[in-house]
Structure 1
Amino acid sequence: MIYSFAIDLDSHLYLSVQMGALGNKELAFNPYKTLCIEKLVLRLLFYRTYLMKKSLVNLAVVANLSFILSACGGSSGSSGNQAPVFNQSTFTYELLEDQSMQGEVAATDADGDQLAYSVGKSADNGVITVNRDGSFIYTPVANFFGEDTATIVVSDSIASATISLSFQVTNVNDLPVISTSQVVVSSTGQTKGQVTAQDLDGDTLTFSIVQAPSVGKLFLDSETGHFTYDAEALNEVKGSFIVSVSDGNAEPVEAEVSLSPSFVTNQDKLGFYYASDVSHLSKAKQLVELNQADDPVAIKNALLAEQAYAEIALGYAQSGFADEAIKLVSNQIAGRKVKAQAYKAIAVAFDKQGQIELANQQRQHATVEYNTYLAELGLENIGSSDAHFYFQVIRDYLNVEQNDLATELLKNTNLYANSLIALDEESKSAHRAFVTAHQTHSQNMVEDFVNDEPNVNFDKTYNAIKAFSDITSTVSYQETSRGIYHQYRANFFRQAAQLAHILSLKSSGTDKEKALQLAKYNLAQGLALYSDINYDSQYALKAEEYAANTLARFDTPLQLFSGLFESLYPEYIAAHKSEDNSGNVAYELLKSVGSSTDLRMGHRHLYAHKLLTDALSGRPMTETLANISSTFSGGDEAEIFHTLVEAGTVNFAERYGAWLLHYAGLDEQALILLSEAEKLIQTEAYLTDVRFVVDQVLESDGCMRLAELNHVFGGNSEQSNSVVTTCDTLAKTYYQGSETISADKQVQAFNALSVAWTREQQSEKALAASTTAQEVALTFSAVDDFIEEHFAVANAQASNGFLTQSLATIQIAFSKFSQAMDETVTVEEKVELIEDTLSQLESLTEREVNIKYLAVNNLQFGVQHHAGLNDDYAQVVTETKTLIEDMLDELASATSALSDKDKQDIYKDISVQYAAINAYDKAVSLVLDPVYTEADKELLLLDIVKLQATQDDLPSTAVANVDTDKDGLVNFFLPDASEQQITASNLKMDEDSDNDGLSDLEDLSPLKAD
């Protein structure tokens, strides 16, 4: 029930109150608010007191009051005050970081009371100011973002209410800053790094690639910015990538990051070089590839291009780029034979780098390709080179201990040979090709075994000879107009018997006995081709069909068999020797049909083996030595040298007395024979017999060879020095100033003497000998002879390490050439001089050993062999190249005025020599001359590509091959080079690869002088 009434002020009750202005304040009451009567009285009394204190005048109060009895407490008939009310419990506001906001809250009061607002709970991360009317200002602290809270209290002076305020402060985003603008990566393999960015807000950043690099593959961690960059081998590191960074609050920030190649580690430098256009292999590829329409410099002929790619692939394999090498062979070579050979070649390169499994895969590819090639060729057309290919692969397997694979391939290869067996038909060349391959393989194995090569042992060697022996039994006869006989089989048994015997000399115990029995078996099989044999019950054989014809037509194997019989059956010989019979079955057969020449060769083998049996039995060799002298005296003194030592340095089968003793471990006795040979070559009889040929007096069959073998057979330096002193005496006595020995032989003699003293590390004596050779060279009047002899002297000087002297020598020769060019009158004279000079220039520029025994390199190679060893290297190598190039320029200029036919011939030689000294651009320019047809041009380009692909700036070592500025310091070491090998080479890494005065670390283009 609601009551309304009015009361007098004195009774402390009003129904309504109206007040006038009170200064600057104004109070108002809601006349409709329900109040409990007691509280209303108290409230009115308060205001009365307040008004009186303010001395207010003209007070008029009108109160209208309505109240509910129930509000006052007690029963439903009581009445009281209602608290202010907000229509929701929380207000939420949004604003930006570092900005203020104004707002207002409003409550309702059912009693109509005047409400007042104030701060309840202050903001945690800001400041809030509240006015009494409910308006407020909120300011977050600097850089704060997120949620902040506060409360506002509203009061009607009796009761209050609280409302929560939530401020969602949105980050005013500070965009991330990408600080990485460049990354340095390796040109090979994988590089790890990080793209860095900063965010002042501490946001979690997300990284992503907007644009990937054009070269290589980039993987970026979206959370950390760490990246891995996988370089594309042989592609130059360049360009950039675009990366974006997002903090999740704004659009991502993007930045371009440039890629730069690293040039710090050895691998960096290797990759940088081969990926650059400076690389000799890159340049070689440019000559093969069709780089543009109608490219004038490209090998379009498929067969020629395949040969070029095979060389380039090998270059990449040797430099550690296996994938590129394999790709080139697989994709660029279609011809089966070339492809197989290329696979085989790169496999060997992988072996050297320790990648045996990868190498085996390439060998298997090579075998498959060659099998297919032979199937297409037809078995009847197989040649020895085809069979030899398989045995090279087998040997490659054995060199890296892949014995099972080698055995498997040998079995498969024998299937080819077995399919060609026809003993009732004349021997087929295709079948003999496989037998010859077995022979070569066996000889290589024996050579390595006696030289203690690590990858060869007795079993491997024995099995190789046994396989050779077995296949020899399948060789058929030869038929000529003179009849049918066994030339091929006899010769193969001779070689098998000799190899088995050498193996026995180097072996011991049961191995020695096995090898001896194999030697006896092959000796018996060989002798049975000539006669019945019964000297050994284990090997008693009836003569083969056609034995009589074989004895009459081909007795050469009997020469060796005579010696072998001396070694293998000394007891039989002793028991059957008589005045008319030597007791040597093989020698008696030879005597029955042999000419004096045949017998002389037989005596060489016979006495060499007799020296061996003497030494093995402990007998003095003096009697045999006397017999040798008496047998060959009177015009065959050279045969004494051969019997004591060897007949040439190359043929393994032509090693005699001293070598046999060496194989048997009797080096002391071998040195005795060398001493006897040294005495021999000083005799007038020997010198007359060999007619003072320098090779047989001083070089390969003379005292220099004896000095070399002294080291091989365990002699000391005093002994070898003594032998070279003998060389010196012979040269000065018989060659220097001689009126009977030609000047060219004198130059040869003193060049050889210079090499001999260099080997003995006697530099002063070596230089003196070289000076004598140069003095003789100056005496030649004919221009071509003058140039030839000076070049020969220069080559020897360079090989001996006399670099400045070699440079001075060729300068003299070039001056002579220029003078002669100026003096030539007729075209014919000029052509002759040009052709002669070009021919001589080959001895300076060809990339090979000029005189193989002396190991005298052609000038350019001779100089390059001293990289890292000679202080004058950089100057001499540069000036030498300049001199040769200037001379070639002069020749090319002179040739340009000649006929097209002359230009065709001469330009070809000049272009090859330009390429040999790495002047490839000049070589190509001549090839492009209109005198050449398209076919001729491509053939010449192939020559250039081969030289370019095989370029080696440091030919004396296997640890490095690139020296771009030719200063003797390497750009990098090859991947397979060990630390021990690098140390032994004396080579150092270049710190300024283009010699421009800037350190590689500071140089933006370290391979190109700025």
Structure 2
Amino acid sequence: MMKKNWLLLTTSVVVLSACGGSSESNSAPKFDQANYSLALKEDASAKITVSAKDDNGDKLTYSLSNAPANATATIDANSGEVSYVPTANFNGDDKFTVAVSDGTAVTNVEVTVTIEAVNDAPELALDKLLVSGGEVKKGTLAATDIDGDSLKYELTKAPKVGAMVIAADSGEVTYTIKDIVSIDDAFTVKISDGNGGEITKQLSLGTSLATNADRAYYYYAWDKSHLKQAQKISDGLKDDVVNSSVYSSLVSGYSNAGFSDITESILTGDAITNQITRASAYLSAANANIRLGNKNKATDYLVKAQQLYSEQLATNGIATLDAGFFPSLATAYRAMGDDNGATQAYSVMDLVMNSIGEGTEARRLFFRFNFYVDDLVADYEETKAEQDRLAALEQTERLLRFTPRIGYSTNFADQKYSSVTLVAYDYVIEKFITLNEPERAKQALAQALALYGYVDYDSNYSVAADPYADTTKNDYVFTVPDFAAHMVTLYPSVDISSLTEIAKGSIFFDFVKDSIIGDAEEALTFARVRASTSDQQAVDIVVANKKSDDLRQHFTELVAFNIRTKGAAIYMIDQGRYSAADALAQEALTLIQSDEYLAENRSSFSFISGESGCGRLVRVYEQLERLSAGNGYSEKAKSTAKVCGDLMLAHFNERKTDSKGNLLVSTKEAVQAAAIVAKYLTRHGHTETLNAVLASANSNIELLKNDISDSENLTKEKADRYANLAVELARGGFFSQAQSFYDSALAEAVKIEETTSAASVGNFTRDLFNGRRRADSSYLQWIEAINANENAAQRVQNRQQAATILAKHLDKVIPFIATKSDLIKNEEYVPFAAIYTYLGDTDRALTIAQDEALGELEKASIEANVARNLASADAFPSSIVASVDTDNDGKPNFFAPFATDEMISDSGLVLDEDSDNDGIKDEEDPSPLVKNN
């Protein structure tokens, strides 16, 4: 029996056996004792000698005839000495049998063994404890005791950094670190079994990489993490403004990573000196805690954010108000299901807005808030989700309530009249109509028209005429056509001719009356379309209004001109009548292919194959597919894209003139037309047509020399055209071909920088980057197109490839600048460092900052920009579930602590198990973030 405390018992049983020999005169050997016994302690060894006699005087030989079950025994054949070594940790009874032989006969004797139990000290095989988790880490000391005793654990020497607690009974280790630091420490633990057995052992301490939290902590503890780098640079600048900005971003980064202690220390520390910034940081931390499920902490931060912000508004005035702050606060409360908190946040905002007097501050606040509401309305137009509609509606109602506070303007005669207020009402009415809220729009319209003295046309919305209406008619009558259009939209049966009464009495009446009628008639068409009861009726209403001498206007009425100028198809989409929108789009598609339309618009690729023509129809079908998948809209988008390509190749594939030699299509326009349709052809898989379009584009780029004689201007135009093709192809999803065109653009840019004047060196590269020359060919547009890629990993890889190539281009340009005067270096190095920073090459930017030609102000500017960018760096800006990718392979080092399996799956991202891309998995890599060749 193993390991029990037995009293020492000694028992001997001897069994004698005699085997007959071949001769009757031979006698079997006889042992000297009838019984043999052996006693020893656990894990000791012992010897015993057995002896026998033979009456015939024969030579005797000893052997083991039955070995012990729980020991190893050996015997000297001549002397009979037995060496007995028990199995480790065995105690209890055992036995073995010894045989003696005279060559003829054999006699056996059994030896019994009793082994006394001895207490064993505990054992701990571990030499290094890997703790797991974030700021509070866990680990377990799993000691063993062969006796089965209950063990006690005691920390006898703590680590140098952090606080450690070891649970006495379980050995669970809780290790808390106030600062985020790399763990390379040691501690000593004593383990006892209560029976006098104990061990004391020093263990090294490290961090595990087994869990998501472990990987996150390891990265943020690294001195090269983007947050630690930002903090180090910012601290070195001693600039309160920069520090406030950087540390606010640090709050966002650390709180989203789940590091509550360091988040709290920054929020309550003195690094953020600007209290508005501190309030925003509290809001950011609150949102992070909502995602983490820490509602109590989130509520605490929201309360502090609101208090700080309100205090600063009271101190510094309404001019500092961020129109989106209180709505964002309310959104956070609602995300927790706290409607009372949301109501309170809006109540504070309303109180602030109502405290503003009429005039400049009220106007500024209105338009700041209007931009915020525009984004909400745009979200609804994109998704058509009811929750988005209600969110936009709530804020539009707030805009309406605030509009009267804008007040009056004053003319040269010191007379009051309405102007900005009317513009505000126009914006509000348009939003209500888009949100399908006609009754609210009617209320806003009544308030607006009262400013012109036009009242009592609807008893449901009775508003007193404004006392300054006559002055308003004379000084600001030009918004009347807009309100006339709204009137017809909301009251389709109104007598259009009567709407001129709104402006009657104005000194400008004769100038606006025709516009009033024209805008009202156009609005009436759309009002009737909205009221139509079938798809065909909707089409017939628009077609009935067609003017054969203005087919371009007819296309706009059928579909749209752009995002703001809507046509019938878009209004049908707003109403959820998708099949009607399809019928109108088909009518428009037939129109733009007609000889009459082509003849009227033959000099405008935009109106035929481009964004205000065929391209607009592709976008309509793409929107219909998003909103109502499975109804054939995807195929119609694809077939329409093919039509766009064919129209471009037929009418805009080269420079064209009319019969009199007048220019219809320039070479540059031919390239632009190709770029636009290339996007749609790429997106919808028309490879053959796309190849023809790109061949046309390349050919025309070479032909630009026939139109542009100046070599530098020619090179610039070629660069712009290549870059524009790259942007549009990226928007279509053809990233490899897009990069090829952007490479060509950069090659042309190098030629410019090589030959341009000293005063202009670097200018073209900067303009190509930020779009100052051409918004549709800038690097920023190129990256925006890449970021729209739905494949998250591919998005990161494409962006990194683009950044690497542009950085190489910058490396070619910098030497040109280096040969110029210190004045030019001061002008160019700062923006070039900013571009490197944007590309993620902060080391290169900081190297530029050390150039001796730069002044202290320029150096500090570069470092501050690097710090701000590092603090807010995000490798996956289109996803909230990850932000760090140290080897730029499109795979995150870790996921956000709040990310669920479903969120991760939806993101399309896959965890990077080799964060430095050295072929060794992180858990097995001694330096998982640094590649060692």
Could you tell me the TM-score, scaled by structure 2's length? 0.75
Deviation digits for residues 874-905 of structure 1, max 9, x if unmatched? 6x766654433332223223322221111111
Structure 1 segment 187-586 matched on structure 2, within 5 A = 187-188=133-134, 190-197=136-143, 206-230=152-176, 234-246=180-192, 253-289=199-235, 298-331=236-269, 332-353=271-292, 355=294, 357-378=296-317, 382=319, 385-398=321-334, 401-421=337-357, 427-436=358-367, 439=370, 451-453=383-385, 455-456=387-388, 464-481=395-412, 483-503=415-435, 505=436, 515-571=437-493, 573=494, 577=495, 582-584=497-499
Contact preservation (8 Å) 1:401, 1:455 = no
* Cα shift at 1:308: 1.7
* Cα shift at 1:718: 3.1
Is the partner of 1:256 in helix, strand or coil?
strand
The answer to which of 673-682 and 170-179 deviates more is 170-179
* Cα shift at 1:732: 1.4
* Cα shift at 1:606: 4.1
Distance 1:671 1:601 in 2: 31
Assess, with a 3 A threshold, how the Cα gap between structure 1 residues 835 and 477 changes in structure 2: closer, same or farther.
closer
Contact preservation (8 Å) 2:681, 2:689 = yes
Is the partner of 2:410 in helix, strand or coil?
strand
Deviation digits for residues 930-957 of structure 1, max 9, x if unmatched? 3333333222222212322333333454
Contact preservation (8 Å) 2:242, 2:868 = no
Matched letter for residue 612 of structure 1: A
Distance 1:447 1:921 in 2: 39
* Cα shift at 1:686: 6.8
Deviation digits for residues 469-527 of structure 1, max 9, x if unmatched? 33334442211216421113333333333333444x3xxxxxxxxx4433322222221
Distance 2:333 2:896 in 1: 23
What's the counterpart of residue 648 of structure 1? 562
Deviation digits for residues 725-773 of structure 1, max 9, x if unmatched? 3321332133222254344433332222121123324455445544543
* Cα shift at 1:354: 5.2
Assess, with a 3 A threshold, how the Cα gap between structure 1 residues 190 and 605 changes in structure 2: closer, same or farther.
farther
Structure 1 segment 755-904 matched on structure 2, within 5 A = 755-763=679-687, 765-766=689-690, 768-779=692-703, 782-816=714-748, 824=755, 829=757, 832-842=760-770, 851=776, 857-859=781-783, 862=786, 865=789, 880-904=802-826
Matched letter for residue 267 of structure 1: A
Unaligned runs of 5+ in 2: 1-42, 47-85, 90-115, 657-662, 705-710
Deviation digits for residues 188-232 of structure 1, max 9, x if unmatched? 155443324456788765432233224443221234433233455
Matched letter for residue 646 of structure 2: T
Is the partner of 2:762 in helix, strand or coil?
helix
Residue from 599, 607, 630 that aligns with 2:522:
607
Distance 2:291 2:557 in 1: 39
Assess, with a 3 A threshold, how the Cα gap between structure 1 residues 774 and 1005 changes in structure 2: closer, same or farther.
farther
Contact preservation (8 Å) 1:558, 1:590 = no
* Cα shift at 1:599: 4.8
Assess, with a 3 A threshold, how the Cα gap between structure 1 residues 541 and 796 changes in structure 2: closer, same or farther.
closer
Distance 2:506 2:593 in 1: 33
Deviation digits for residues 299-322 of structure 1, max 9, x if unmatched? 211112111222232233344445
Matched letter for residue 531 of structure 1: G
Distance 2:599 2:509 in 1: 27
1:736 aligns with 2:647: no
Distance 1:590 1:692 in 2: 43
Distance 2:875 2:850 in 1: 27
Contact preservation (8 Å) 1:473, 1:489 = yes
Contact preservation (8 Å) 2:380, 2:392 = yes
Contact preservation (8 Å) 1:300, 1:938 = no
- The one of the two structures with greater contact order (alpha-carbon pairs below 8 A, sep at least 6) is 2
Structure 1 segment 707-722 matched on structure 2, within 5 A = 707-713=618-624, 714=628, 716-722=633-639
Assess, with a 3 A threshold, how the Cα gap between structure 1 residues 252 and 528 changes in structure 2: closer, same or farther.
same
The answer to which of 581-590 and 515-524 deviates more is 581-590
Distance 1:709 1:231 in 2: 55
Structure 1 segment 983-1002 matched on structure 2, within 5 A = 983-1002=905-924
The answer to which of 923-932 and 877-886 deviates more is 877-886
Contact preservation (8 Å) 1:336, 1:369 = yes
Distance 1:209 1:532 in 2: 86
Assess, with a 3 A threshold, how the Cα gap between structure 1 residues 663 and 217 changes in structure 2: closer, same or farther.
same
Distance 1:586 1:231 in 2: 76
Assess, with a 3 A threshold, how the Cα gap between structure 1 residues 880 and 528 changes in structure 2: closer, same or farther.
closer
* Cα shift at 1:413: 2.4
Distance 2:539 2:740 in 1: 52
Contact preservation (8 Å) 1:387, 1:437 = yes
Matched letter for residue 815 of structure 2: S
* Cα shift at 1:996: 0.9
Distance 2:250 2:379 in 1: 30
Matched letter for residue 518 of structure 2: H
1:749 aligns with 2:667: no
Assess, with a 3 A threshold, how the Cα gap between structure 1 residues 944 and 771 changes in structure 2: closer, same or farther.
farther
Assess, with a 3 A threshold, how the Cα gap between structure 1 residues 259 and 446 changes in structure 2: closer, same or farther.
same
Contact preservation (8 Å) 1:860, 1:877 = no
* Cα shift at 1:660: 2.8
1:668 aligns with 2:599: no
Matched letter for residue 370 of structure 1: Y
Assess, with a 3 A threshold, how the Cα gap between structure 1 residues 787 and 623 changes in structure 2: closer, same or farther.
closer
Contact preservation (8 Å) 1:399, 1:455 = no
Contact preservation (8 Å) 1:927, 1:940 = yes
Unaligned runs of 5+ in 1: 1-96, 101-140, 145-169, 290-297, 422-426, 506-514
* Cα shift at 1:351: 4.6
Assess, with a 3 A threshold, how the Cα gap between structure 1 residues 453 and 696 changes in structure 2: closer, same or farther.
same
Distance 2:761 2:781 in 1: 25
Is the partner of 1:550 in helix, strand or coil?
helix
Contact preservation (8 Å) 2:701, 2:721 = yes
Task: Please give the root-mean-square deviation of Cα atoms over the aligned residues, in Å.
Answer: 4.3
Contact preservation (8 Å) 1:798, 1:863 = no
Deviation digits for residues 570-609 of structure 1, max 9, x if unmatched? 34x2xxx4xxx62446777599946768855873464234
Distance 2:324 2:788 in 1: 33
* Cα shift at 1:708: 1.3
What's the counterpart of residue 701 of structure 1? 612
1:929 aligns with 2:819: no
Assess, with a 3 A threshold, how the Cα gap between structure 1 residues 835 and 489 changes in structure 2: closer, same or farther.
closer
Distance 1:177 1:622 in 2: 87
Could you tell me the TM-score, scaled by structure 1's length? 0.70
Contact preservation (8 Å) 1:558, 1:589 = no
1:945 aligns with 2:864: no
Distance 2:823 2:602 in 1: 43
* Cα shift at 1:355: 4.9
Is the partner of 2:757 in helix, strand or coil?
helix
Matched letter for residue 430 of structure 2: Q
